[in-house]
Amino acid sequence: MPANGSGDSFAMTELITHFPGQELPVSEVGNRLRQMWDNDGEESPSHFRASQMNIVLHFGFQITPEEALAAFNSLLLFVQRYPGRIIVLCPNEAQRDGSMSAKLFSQCYIGPSQREMCCCEALMLSFEPDDCGYLSNQVSVWLESDLPTYHWFMGVPEIRIRKYFDNLLKGVRRMVYDSSREESDIADLDWPRPEGVRDLAQARLLPIRQSLGQFFSGFPMELIQDGLQAISLNYAAGKRGEAKRLAEWIKSCLSLDLVVETLPIEPREPASDQENPLILDMVWTYQNDYYFKWEFYQEGDRARFDYKLGSESKAFMTQLKPLAPEQALAEALFF
């Protein structure tokens, strides 16, 4: 089962203390891991451990314990399907002498058939944030060197990420982040490999892009663009990244540089007294009598289409199920 915690009970202590696992000296983590998996008996968990990757979950100072545990729990669900070693990096503002502390967490999951099992481990490290080289050295010791490594940033500021380009991020296959929760869009950094950077907000758009793409595929492009004057795209609190990525996708798909230079994106707070508050909504304005309106509701997993294109006009509801956090992570890491 995923690790649980109540936000009201968290003390103002270092982040690593809120994670499950056994406290160990940093130098002992490797030995303890070997002891866990070296037993080759018939019932040994090593028979059910088939790691495919390393996943580094890297927190900044502004991450709350609730946010950290939510991300960690989504990783535990993720590795049930894609087995991997988890390494959690927790900065400790009080550690300024180069010292580190560690935890080791291991867990096995029984599958639906009761005959399937998956075992994984998570290594947590509390570190001094300014010593990038030392951190990189320690993480390299903990990685399974023959497997690809993925890196997930949460709340790490741009200035610090830049310092990791030449050490911690060397050899990393893909870096992921969430533009809806970061203060700035770190995809705009001068990455050594920009093609390896993925946004979780973009990944979460997969069902929306599929739904909108299926709708628009039923109309000729010339008809969709005929008289198109402007597109407004509004978003609810916490969905800034989704709105930005959706705007980019629409402009790319419809070649809107021929029609509209920019898509205005305006902040929109969901009304507390609204029966079905919206996550995202779009209004397409035409010079003729065409129109297109789309709304994605916060509750009910549904979206509403209302349009007139050519001689056809219609309004209808459709199911639109968002991706679970572990599904969005898989989409960002692998696709």
Tell me, yes or no, whether 18 and 160 share the same domain: yes
CA angle (147 as vertex; 33, 130 as ends), nearest 5: 75
Residue that the structure tokens 């891991």 belong to: 33
- Judged by DSSP in three states, 271 sits in coil
CA atoms within a 13 Å half-sphere pointing along the CA-CB vector of 86: 29
- Which of 128, 147, 172 is the endpoint of a domain? 172
The pLDDT tens digits of the residues spanning 282-296 come to 999 999 999 999 999
Rounded Cα–Cα distance for residues 228 and 223 (Å): 9
- Which of 172, 191, 217 is the endpoint of a domain? 172
Tell me, yes or no, whether 91 and 142 share the same domain: yes
The pLDDT tens digits of the residues spanning 212-258 come to 999 999 999 999 989 988 888 888 888 999 999 998 898 888 776 54
The pLDDT tens digits of the residues spanning 100-132 come to 899 999 888 776 665 666 778 999 999 987 777
Q: How many domains in the chain?
A: 2
Tell me, yes or no, whether 213 and 155 share the same domain: no
Tell me, yes or no, whether 122 and 217 share the same domain: no
Tell me, yes or no, whether 134 and 264 share the same domain: no
Q: Does 189 reside within a domain?
A: no
Tokens of 334: 């692998």
Enclosing domain of residue 119: 7-172
Q: Does 184 reside within a domain?
A: no
Distances (CA, A) of 215 to 228, 299, 309, 335: 17, 22, 12, 23
Tell me, yes or no, whether 130 and 214 share the same domain: no
Q: What's the confidence (pLDDT) of residue 269?
A: 62
DSSP 153: E
Tell me, yes or no, whether 136 and 48 share the same domain: yes
Q: Parallel, antiparallel, or unpaired: how do β-strands 84-91 and 174-177 relate?
A: unpaired
- Judged by DSSP in three states, 276 sits in coil
CB atoms closer than 10 angstroms to residue 73: 17
pTM: 0.89
Tell me, yes or no, whether 51 and 167 share the same domain: yes
Q: What CATH number is given to the structural domain containing 318?
A: 3.30.360
- Which of 116, 147, 172 is the endpoint of a domain? 172
Rounded Cα–Cα distance for residues 194 and 188 (Å): 9
| Under 8 Å between Cβ of 15 and 65 | yes
